[in-house]
Structure 1
Amino acid sequence: MFRVFGHDRIWVLDGGLPRWRASGYDVESSASSDAILKASAASEAIEKVYQGQAVGPITFETKFQPQLVWTLEQVTKNIEEKSHQHVDARGKPRMVAILKNI
């Protein structure tokens, strides 16, 4: 989903932080002042949006990648052809129809 909107440098950590630590990689408990400042600014912007207030200028421009979004027709065709792997990312309640789409 991130790549669809232009975030090209995104990775998923298989196993999360516990596996990272178990693999012997370093973990730091401190952050640079620049990272703290950016996180604080992001939190403030989110709070303003929730309160219906305007926020400052946008610093990241999305770049929609339509070729990464499949139509229902493409997905249906691929079910038969099996040329690509599909992953259902819904949570279990939605998958078993406990929760309906919102």
Structure 2
Amino acid sequence: MSLTLPGPLVDAEWLAAQLGDPRLRVIDVTYVMPGSGRDARAEFEAKHVPGAVYFDIDDIGDPVSELPHMLPTPARFAEKVGALGIGNDDAVVAYDSYGLMSAARGWWMFRVFGHDNVAVLDGGLRAWTAAGQPLETGPAAPAPARFKAGFRPALVRSLGNISANLQSGA
């Protein structure tokens, strides 16, 4: 039986109480802008929520698209998140270091591929550390898991869809 998340947002206190539950997976979805001189994976290895794995949006995304950060195929998503130790029965909590959009992007990606048991850590790593919670260092070494991805086209909109909405005033 999977761990049930309390909603789409969880706070540091809730997450701290659940750490160590084998049904919980925590992902750091921190993304840094190209050319910033920063390395999100190195920052993850310097400090992260205990037990977290690094969810690299660029590595998981579509490797053949000319556009950056495009959704992968369901098969690629399943392969990549399975390699991160995430299975279909796991509860997933996503966070990022800067409180930007990347944790929400990870949350959305899981939902697009059929995994609803996912939440965002409210306030991200900043809220976690402000609450006095522990940090861990070093690379993650998750045991691989099996993840079967579906696809929900209703959660994805194309440029044509957006353009039509703008023109119609919807």
TM bin (shorter chain) = 0.3 to 0.5
State TM-score, norm by structure 2: 0.27
Larger helix percent = 1
State TM-score, norm by structure 1: 0.41
| Greater gyration radius | 1
Larger strand percent = 2
